[in-house]
Structure 1
Amino acid sequence: MANKRYASFFLFFMMPFSLLHKSYPQLVNQSSDEHQILLELKKHWGSSPVLGRWSSNSAAHCNWGGITCTNGVVTGISLPNQTFIKPIPPSICLLKNLTHLDVSYNNISSPFPTMLYNCSNLKYLDISNNAFAGNLPNDINSLPALLEHLNLSSNHFTGRIPPSIGLFPRLKSLLLDTNQFDGRYPAEDISNFADLERLTLAVNPFVPAPFPTEFGRLTRLTYLWLSNMNITGEIPESLSSLRELNLLDLSSNKLQGKIPTWIWQHKKLQYLYLYGNKFTSEIESNITALNLVEIDVSANELTGTIPDGFGKITNLTLLFLYFNKLSGSIPPSVGLLPKLTDIRLFNNMLSGSLPPELGKHSPLANLEISYNNLSGELPEGLCFNRKLYSIVVFNNSFSGKLPSSLDGCYPLQNLMLYNNNFSGEFPRSLWSVVTDQLSVVMIQNNNFSGTFPAQLPWNFTRLDISNNRFSGPIPTLAGKMKVFRAANNLLSGEIPWDLTGISQVIEFDLSGNQISGSLPTTIGVLMRLNALYLSGNQISGNIPAGFGFITGLNDLDLSSNKLSGEIPKDFNKLLLSFLNLSMNQLTGEIPTSLQNKAYEQSFLFNPGLCVSSSNSLQNFPICRARTNINKDLFRKHIALISAVASIILLVSAVVGFILLRRKTHLQDHLSWKLTPFHVLHFTVNDILSGVCEQNWIGSGRSGKVYRVYAGDRTSGGMMVAVKRIWNMQNIDNKLEKDFLAEVQILGEIRHTNIVKLLCCISSSEAKLLIYEYMENGSLHQWLHQRERIGAPGPLDWPTRLQIAIDSARGLCYMHHHCSPPIVHRDVKCANILLDHNFRAKMADFGLAKILLRAGDDESFSAIAGTFGYMAPEYGHQFKVNEKIDVYSFGVVLLEIITGRVANDGGVYYCLAQWAWRQYQEYGLSVDLLDEGIRDPTHVEDALEVFTLAVICTGEHPSMRPSMKDVLNILIQFDRKSTRIQGSLKHAVSDETTLLES
């Protein structure tokens, strides 16, 4: 009996092993087949970081990188970032149990891979961030019905999204952003997904249409990214049913009206991005969305005050409200937020002081509040937690000493405090070599005092302390310094002789100090130097011949010093646009290349200088060769010289008296009328005294332009640009109209991308327009005169793109936000000016016209503008509307992209026609691009902007886009500086990270 029970137990126990033995050959065969399929996959795609480690000698393919197995069979392939180029092979679906496929972030350029229809168990498909192109197939629903995750983002898919996209019953994640889909939003189809949790349609050129109200049915959504897709109208109330939302991004659309109350009262919302729309009215005061982590509602038209309710959102890390019309003070409660790291409120109308506790209770890292009316002192605990890396508070009315927490704020990288009323000693620890992060310090136009250490930190790239009260010797400069400005301080001692450490410097300004000693003979090592200003010091000795090595030198001012000796002959090698050696003790012959009228005012009050002939510079004697003469002849010469000197003395006295009377008359402030458009810290006399030839920097269409430092340290002086239009008896009526047009337009405009007109000064003799000074000149210089201005190299693509966007913003404001609209009529690279950060502003409005009746063309009796930029209808019909600016801007884009000048079209007459023919005959290729932007990472974007430029320069005005549309398109390419990456950064799963583009 026992043996029988034992036998039964043995049979029962051994049964699974028997079954396993029968199925084992099948498993072995399947494993062998999968092994071979994977090796064929490696052979098809070639070597890559992961596939290179797949070995044919190893049978354990389930341990290979990128492979996931379940119960010994392959169920997942994850091969992102492998530089694949070839399409997905059909053999991949021979892996019958494959449920997960990820080949994102490769270079696959093929149509949609319909061979995946045969992967019958596929649940997860990610082919994002490749170069897949063409239309999505109408039968895309032939993909397995088991599909839960479909990611097609960041490719080149075009056309409409087919209705069949809505036929996946289990789909939880649909990511279609950053393609070129057009047509209408697939609202009705997508709204059928009962289980959908994540949806992205952003950055696609859909036909403008109102917000899809149907999306209110997607009640399980946690992630909704719909930016840059031409949504119009208001946010519908139906979206209030999306109670599970964690992220809502509707930025860079055409939304308007009020931000709905339900958004500010959402219980689960953490990330809110609504920037770049037209939302108006005030922000909801009753804020109960207390789980918010990031808020960005910048670049709208919001009014009213900042709600105190923001101070209750204890998880808030980021608060962006910049470029709005907010007023009032910043609530003190904001300073108590425990997690706040980044606050940006610049370009509003805020007043009062900063929250006194700001920075003390949170890891504050970035503070940007420039262009407001804020006052008082910076909070004492601003860098209390030692996380602060950027302080941008320029153009306010702050005063007092800097907070003690900045002393030793070692993470600090960027300090921009200029144009305020700060005083006291600047923290010496910020000059310390230990502070190896700090690279940009711009504190000009304040009342700081203090001294420098022996050597500045290696990491400094830009230092501007002009118009303060710093004293002591000049520090040794070394490292990455590009710009050093210390004009109008109390610095003394000699210029350091060792200049090898700053061989990359572009601008060096020590004018208006107490510098003594001689110029370093090592000056020639500064071969990238573009501008050197040392006027108004006590520098003596000879001018070093080393200047001849600085072939890119554009501006040189050594005036009002004690320099002696001859001007080196090496100056003949230089192509200077501005030179001032006046009021020194120089002798000898002026170098021949400088003996022309361009430098007529460059050598005044150097009685020992002479010229080679009477046909060169006036008021200088002719140089004579030395000869041996007898004493009698010598006496005769002495007598003759004495007689001539007496005559010259008499004539000089008379001329001097006349000039003195003329100068007195010119500077008689009672005869000048000042019309201010902003708060000024200078007087009429400050401007008039600076309108002289040594300050001349160029000529516009209707007058000369001067660079003038106006005001003094105590009153907050500043560098300005002065355009002078003479108004003598033979005044040209056209110039008079230009003057009135520019004053009328610029005096009323307030926009960050339009050059600011500070005031107007006029008299019976002359008219002056005083602008903010743009330090980097014009876009034309940087594109076409790089050698002349000493540019270290061509502008890179991100800088060019930002310049294009800034310029487009200025024109968009004129066309779409001014009432009545304004047409510039002379858009060109020379009228796009660049500040110290290469941010662009539109300038020279002498040709601008206001369209008195919106939508009407206006006719003019004469053509005005610049050859190469004028739209064809403007030259033939004298018709003016906003589309002539769009044409001109298109030419500017072509210059930015190709590096060619506007009227350089060869046999095709102009650049616009050349571009059109190239586009028609040869299509898009890297050969179209300027050599400075042929980096493979930017070629694609640059060529797409080239296409936009061709569209803008179309012959028919009705076919050109509006400036608003142009701006929206350009913003799409600004992927590194927009919030596209930021909005994806905070997703709640690893899948979201793969979406970053």
Structure 2
Amino acid sequence: MTKESTQSYIKLQIFILFFTYANSQTQLLYDQEHETLMKIKNYFHNPFFLSHWTSSNSSHCSWPEIICKNDSITSLSMINTNITQTLPIFLCDLKNLTHIDFQLNYIPKEFPKSLYNCSKLEYLDLSMNFFVGKIPDDIDRLSNLRHLSLGGNNFSGDIPMSIGKLKKLKSLELYQCQFNGTISDEIGNLVDLETLKMFSNSMLPNTTKFPSSITKLKKLRVFHMYDSNLFGEIPETIGEMMDLEYLDLSGNFLSGKIPNGLFSLKNLSILYLYKNNLSGEIPEVVEASELTVFDLSMNNLTGKIPDDFGKLEKLNYFCLFMNQLSGEVPESIGRLPALTDFIVFQNNLSGTFSQDFGRYSKLETFQVASNSFTGNLPHNLCYHGKFVGLTAYDNSLSGELPKSLGSCSSLQYLRVENNEFSGNIPNGLWTSMNLSAIMLSENKFTGELPERLSRKLSTVAVSYNRFSGRIPDGVSSWKNVVKFNASHNFFNGSIPLNLTSLPQLTTLLLDHNQFTGSLPSDIISWKSLVTLNLSNNQLSGDIPDAICQLPALNILDLSENKISGQVPPQLAPLRLTNLNLSSNYLTGRIPSDFENLVYATSFLNNSGLCVDTLVLNLTLCNSSPKRRTSDSSKSLTMIIILVILASLTALLSILLMVRFYRKRKQDLKRSWKLTSFQRLSFTKSNIVSSMKENNIIGSGGFGAVYRVAVDGLGYVAVKKIWGSSRKLEQKLVDSFLAEVEILSNIRHNNIVKLMCCISSDDSLLLVYEYMENQSLDRWLHKKSQLLSSTVSGTVHHNNIIDWPKRLHIAIGAAQGLCYMHNDCSPPIVHRDVKTSNILLDSQFNAKVADFGLAKILIKPEELATMSAVAGTFGYIAPEYAQTIRVNEKIDVYSFGVVLLELTTGKEANHGDEYSSLAEWAWRHIQIGSNIEDLLDDDAAEPSNLEEMCSIFKLGVMCTSTLPASRPSMKEVLKILVNCKDPHANVEKVVSIYDAVPLLKNLKWEKQVEYSA
């Protein structure tokens, strides 16, 4: 062998040895890391989402939570996996970790300093968890960090100086925490920082000024610090941040003028300064030619809109609503090629519009309401076929509506109330395929109503115009109309029978017209009708009995007509909040239930009506001289009547006692089967024998609820359910019991405990834990003036609950729903969340109850006779009512209504005379009402006003028409738990995923208009 061959052989041997050693080391590292992963799995108690982590599975580098480099783990992610434990201290045994992401979990306690052992860590995301305490002063030990996200936690105290020592940071996220100290100036030392998110830190002291050191960050491109209690002025040095692309300082208390330097930033693309106290004029745009989104709404800005805005060729979102701007809109803005949204409502703007709006850009919304504009609307709003919405109400606009709107298939809403518009409605507008709301009231429009409407149209408001003719027979095709307001016009003829076939109708206003004929009698389809106003017409005939069968009717006005006959006694049980039958030809005795001052003006100017008492100040029924008798004859008559009544009472009592004992005997002999879900201290006979009428504490559509005393527990609540036939089919009972068994396995402090089920051939008994303070609605809406406490035996004469109790109840109910949505497998959707289904124990702890089990007993052939939608009017999400699609977001909608009830004291279907509570709240948000004026006086105190306002806003957000715009119950719960500061703000709910908040996004305004 030559020398060269020998050397080559030696090198080959060395290579083989080295390769073998390297492989052995790699295998050793792999085994160590795999062992650590198994320890992590065991530490988290073998959760279902890690079921694929097994020793026999393929390489752990292929698992979705893991990323490897050179066969070693460099990244570990467990996002939104319901982790409730602290992070394991041995996590950093994975020595090569550079990326850790545990966002959107429930990880508790303080910042885990064990992470300092991850010496190579570059990316750390612990956002949206339940961490508490301060950010450690030595966090700079993670010296290699390039991304740090701790947002959405309960961190408090200062933002420490040590943050400023993480010199390699490019992204820092400290949003939505409970910082209540100072912001360290050392943040200005992060010279490589490109993204800074510190929004929704509303517990910062109200002396917190804009952190001027941040303007030293010359590389900063994205800066979010909205809703963070900032005071003072925006420093002029902000104009030196030349790389800045995205700036959001909205929702603070910033004052003073807008710095001129802000508009010299050449890269600035998105600017949000809305909802501050900025004043003065808007500076001229100098070099900010990249602006695409510009929102200065809800400030105190004055002066004119600068002409230079017409030079911003990339500008698409232009928003200046709710300021004090004046003068005319520069014509050049109408020619901007990228403009999609022009929103300037509620200012002092005047003049006429450029007719170029919509011609040069794909315009989507044009919102100019509540100004002093005159002249015509632009003719080309829908020139490119993308136009979605027009709001121009409360101006002095005139002429006809643009004819192009008649062929605008993209149009969703149109509001032009309170102007001087005239002429006919453009052909095709009524039937525009996507139109959901058309509001034309208080103008001078003429013409007749069409035979057909857009299939999506839900709101039609044409009051105070000059429309005429009959309501067309084709009205039966208006299947999705919810509100129809045609009052104060010249409509005539009879009210067509086809109008009664609109199943979604909640509001019908036809007052002050020229209708004749009788009232329609076949109105069984009006199941949702809340308000009916037919006053000031020439209607005649009797009041049909069918009106008394409308389940949701709350307001009825038939005054100023020629209606005759008697007042139906069946009207009384409806408990109408507003009834007006004045100025008609009604005769006879007014039902005694109406003889109270609530109805003092309900029956005026009906000469043929009489009453038995003087409460209503009407003619007494026994006041005629012909009916007077002597005192002796009256006494004799009275004695005879009393004797007859006493005899009848005694006979009836005997019959009832016989029936009662027979029924009780039958109940005890009936074959009952008990299905227990836990150890019980009572028997089925204990329950059955105690179901007496005097033990009934409530009732519903499927049966009564009893309070039954049992040994060891005090009381239990027994809900009796019976089917729609005399005998329940076995397959229905089996289905019912299967569902009950699922619910019986739920164990949560905020869900009412189901103890057992007792069944017979024709009845089912559900036995629950007893809740001393009964349901939330009894306290909130004063349904009972006397609420008894079975624990103390006392009687409360004041059922008002203060705000701290209400917030405590809201948090408890949210915890129960959050558990159902996130921790149950499969998730459980309640479908009927409402205040009457939130029960309260002796300490006012809330428990979600009544999962609509009785609905299972409906036979398929009986579904046609009732709504297939489970739920209660006022709480039902729009998409559920229209499509019967079920997911967690319908519960979020219903819970949002509960939050509105807690803050306003109103009932879910009592927003005002024309709308539900959710719609009423949306409308007040839209017009910028002072929310404090909407709150419940019984709970509102100076110390909690702002907190109540925040929860009101959260309720509005939860009742968004679009399900995707609603937060999840997990997000709702986090906000409720964090709501401890008077400056807390709810818009943070939509910022969790780095999304643009709704208030600064077109969707909010569109949403409001759509809902209104």
Give distance in 1, aligned partners of 2:875 and 2:515: 32
Q: Give the aligned partner of residue 278 of structure 1.
A: 277
Conserved 8 A contact 1:800-1:896: no
* CA shift digits 1:694-719 (9 cap, x unpaired): xxxxxxxxxxxxxxxxxxxxxxxxxx
What secondary structure, in the 3-state scheme, does the structure 2 residue paired with 1:467 have? coil
Question: Residue 337 and residue 972 in structure 1: after superposition, are their counterparts in 2 closer, same or farther (change >3 A)?
Answer: same
Is 1:312 aligned to 2:311, yes or no?
yes
Is 1:576 aligned to 2:576, yes or no?
yes
What secondary structure, in the 3-state scheme, does the structure 1 residue paired with 2:428 have? helix
Give distance in 1, aligned partners of 2:283 and 2:194: 28
Letter in 2 for 1:444: S
* CA shift digits 1:739-773 (9 cap, x unpaired): xxxxxxxxxxxxxxxxxxxxxxxxxxxxxxxxxxx
How many residue pairs end up in the alignment? 712
Q: Give the aligned partner of residue 118 of structure 1.
A: 117
Is 1:490 aligned to 2:490, yes or no?
yes
1:792 is displaced (CA, Å) by 2.7
Equivalent residue runs for 1:781-792 within 5 Å: 792=874
Q: Give the aligned partner of residue 64 of structure 1.
A: 63
What secondary structure, in the 3-state scheme, does the structure 2 residue paired with 1:272 have? strand
Conserved 8 A contact 2:123-2:146: yes
Q: Give the aligned partner of residue 164 of structure 1.
A: 162
Give distance in 2, aligned partners of 1:62 and 1:76: 10
Question: Residue 387 and residue 620 in structure 1: after superposition, are their counterparts in 2 closer, same or farther (change >3 A)?
Answer: farther
Question: Residue 934 and residue 501 in structure 1: after superposition, are their counterparts in 2 closer, same or farther (change >3 A)?
Answer: farther
Equivalent residue runs for 1:645-660 within 5 Å: none
Residue number among 463, 468, 487 corresponding to 1:466 in the alignment: 463
1:190 is displaced (CA, Å) by 1.1
Give distance in 2, aligned partners of 1:843 and 1:118: 50
Q: Give the aligned partner of residue 985 of structure 2.
A: 971
1:985 is displaced (CA, Å) by 12
What secondary structure, in the 3-state scheme, does the structure 2 residue paired with 1:81 have? coil
Q: Give the aligned partner of residue 941 of structure 1.
A: 975
178-187 or 496-505, which deviates more: 496-505
Q: Give the aligned partner of residue 176 of structure 1.
A: 174
1:542 is displaced (CA, Å) by 2.4
148-157 or 196-205, which deviates more: 196-205
Q: Give the aligned partner of residue 378 of structure 1.
A: 377
Question: Residue 625 and residue 28 in structure 1: after superposition, are their counterparts in 2 closer, same or farther (change >3 A)?
Answer: farther
Residue number among 942, 948, 953 corresponding to 1:886 in the alignment: 942
Give distance in 1, aligned partners of 2:356 and 2:903: 37
972-981 or 467-476, which deviates more: 972-981
Question: Residue 503 and residue 85 in structure 1: after superposition, are their counterparts in 2 closer, same or farther (change >3 A)?
Answer: farther
1:843 is displaced (CA, Å) by 11
1:622 is displaced (CA, Å) by 4.6
1:267 is displaced (CA, Å) by 0.8
What secondary structure, in the 3-state scheme, does the structure 1 residue paired with 2:565 have? strand
Conserved 8 A contact 1:93-1:116: yes
Q: Give the aligned partner of residue 588 of structure 2.
A: 588
Give distance in 1, aligned partners of 2:330 and 2:898: 38
Give distance in 1, aligned partners of 2:998 and 2:99: 22
Give distance in 2, aligned partners of 1:986 and 1:623: 68
1:935 is displaced (CA, Å) by 5.5
Give distance in 1, aligned partners of 2:538 and 2:45: 70
1:327 is displaced (CA, Å) by 0.7
Conserved 8 A contact 1:595-1:617: no
Residue number among 438, 446, 449 corresponding to 1:449 in the alignment: 446
Q: Give the aligned partner of residue 928 of structure 1.
A: none
Equivalent residue runs for 1:687-836 within 5 Å: 792-793=874-875, 836=923
* CA shift digits 1:643-692 (9 cap, x unpaired): xxxxxxxxxxxxxxxxxxxxxxxxxxxxxxxxxxxxxxxxxxxxxxxxxx
Letter in 2 for 1:792: G
Question: Residue 976 and residue 390 in structure 1: after superposition, are their counterparts in 2 closer, same or farther (change >3 A)?
Answer: farther
Give distance in 1, aligned partners of 2:46 and 2:510: 58
1:463 is displaced (CA, Å) by 2.3
Question: Residue 38 and residue 411 in structure 1: after superposition, are their counterparts in 2 closer, same or farther (change >3 A)?
Answer: farther
1:177 is displaced (CA, Å) by 1.4
Q: Give the aligned partner of residue 830 of structure 2.
A: none
* CA shift digits 1:514-572 (9 cap, x unpaired): 33443232335434433210012233332111222335533211123333333222112
Conserved 8 A contact 1:34-1:95: yes
Q: Give the aligned partner of residue 644 of structure 1.
A: none
Conserved 8 A contact 1:551-1:575: no
1:604 is displaced (CA, Å) by 4.2
Question: Residue 59 and residue 34 in structure 1: after superposition, are their counterparts in 2 closer, same or farther (change >3 A)?
Answer: farther
What secondary structure, in the 3-state scheme, does the structure 2 residue paired with 1:59 have? coil
What secondary structure, in the 3-state scheme, does the structure 2 residue paired with 1:203 have? coil
* CA shift digits 1:70-91 (9 cap, x unpaired): 1221111233222322222223
1:117 is displaced (CA, Å) by 1.0
What secondary structure, in the 3-state scheme, does the structure 2 residue paired with 1:220 have? coil
Conserved 8 A contact 1:613-1:622: no
Q: Give the aligned partner of residue 512 of structure 1.
A: 512
Q: Give the aligned partner of residue 823 of structure 2.
A: none
What secondary structure, in the 3-state scheme, does the structure 2 residue paired with 1:122 have? coil
* CA shift digits 1:576-624 (9 cap, x unpaired): 3433223433333332223445445433454444445677652465599
Q: Give the aligned partner of residue 671 of structure 1.
A: none
* CA shift digits 1:959-995 (9 cap, x unpaired): xxxxxxx4xx1435564599984269999xxxxxxxx
Q: Give the aligned partner of residue 996 of structure 2.
A: 982
Give distance in 2, aligned partners of 1:532 and 1:344: 35
Give distance in 1, aligned partners of 2:341 and 2:903: 24
* CA shift digits 1:273-314 (9 cap, x unpaired): 112222222111243210111111122221111011111111
1:842 is displaced (CA, Å) by 6.0
Give distance in 2, aligned partners of 1:139 and 1:36: 30
Q: Unmatched 5+ residue regions in structure 1?
A: 628-782, 784-789, 808-829, 846-865, 871-884, 900-932, 949-965, 988-997
887-896 or 250-259, which deviates more: 887-896
Conserved 8 A contact 1:416-1:442: yes
Conserved 8 A contact 1:158-1:179: yes
1:67 is displaced (CA, Å) by 1.8
Conserved 8 A contact 2:950-2:986: no
Equivalent residue runs for 1:813-962 within 5 Å: 836-837=923-924, 841=929, 886=942, 889=945, 937-942=971-976, 944-945=978-979, 947-948=980-981
Q: Give the aligned partner of residue 132 of structure 1.
A: 131
What secondary structure, in the 3-state scheme, does the structure 1 residue paired with 2:942 have? helix
Give distance in 1, aligned partners of 2:125 and 2:300: 38
Give distance in 1, aligned partners of 2:430 and 2:495: 18
Letter in 2 for 1:185: I
Give distance in 1, aligned partners of 2:140 and 2:407: 61
Question: Residue 113 and residue 624 in structure 1: after superposition, are their counterparts in 2 closer, same or farther (change >3 A)?
Answer: farther
Letter in 2 for 1:110: K
Conserved 8 A contact 2:218-2:242: yes
1:321 is displaced (CA, Å) by 1.1
Conserved 8 A contact 2:612-2:620: no
Give distance in 1, aligned partners of 2:213 and 2:46: 47
C-alpha root-mean-square deviation of aligned residues, in Å?
4.1
Conserved 8 A contact 2:543-2:568: yes
Q: Give the aligned partner of residue 35 of structure 2.
A: 36
Conserved 8 A contact 1:869-1:891: no
Give distance in 1, aligned partners of 2:998 and 2:212: 24
Q: Give the aligned partner of residue 925 of structure 1.
A: none
* CA shift digits 1:443-473 (9 cap, x unpaired): 2111223333334344333321111223332
Residue number among 180, 196, 216 corresponding to 1:199 in the alignment: 196
Conserved 8 A contact 1:271-1:983: no
Q: Give the aligned partner of residue 958 of structure 1.
A: none
Give distance in 2, aligned partners of 1:978 and 1:303: 34
Give distance in 2, aligned partners of 1:844 and 1:48: 46
605-614 or 34-43, which deviates more: 605-614
Equivalent residue runs for 1:295-374 within 5 Å: 295-374=294-373
Conserved 8 A contact 1:587-1:607: yes
Give distance in 2, aligned partners of 1:979 and 1:329: 39
Give distance in 2, aligned partners of 1:300 and 1:898: 22
What secondary structure, in the 3-state scheme, does the structure 2 residue paired with 1:476 have? helix
* CA shift digits 1:719-747 (9 cap, x unpaired): xxxxxxxxxxxxxxxxxxxxxxxxxxxxx
Conserved 8 A contact 2:237-2:261: no
* CA shift digits 1:222-256 (9 cap, x unpaired): 11222233333222233332111111222222322
Conserved 8 A contact 1:347-1:369: yes
Give distance in 1, aligned partners of 2:49 and 2:90: 19
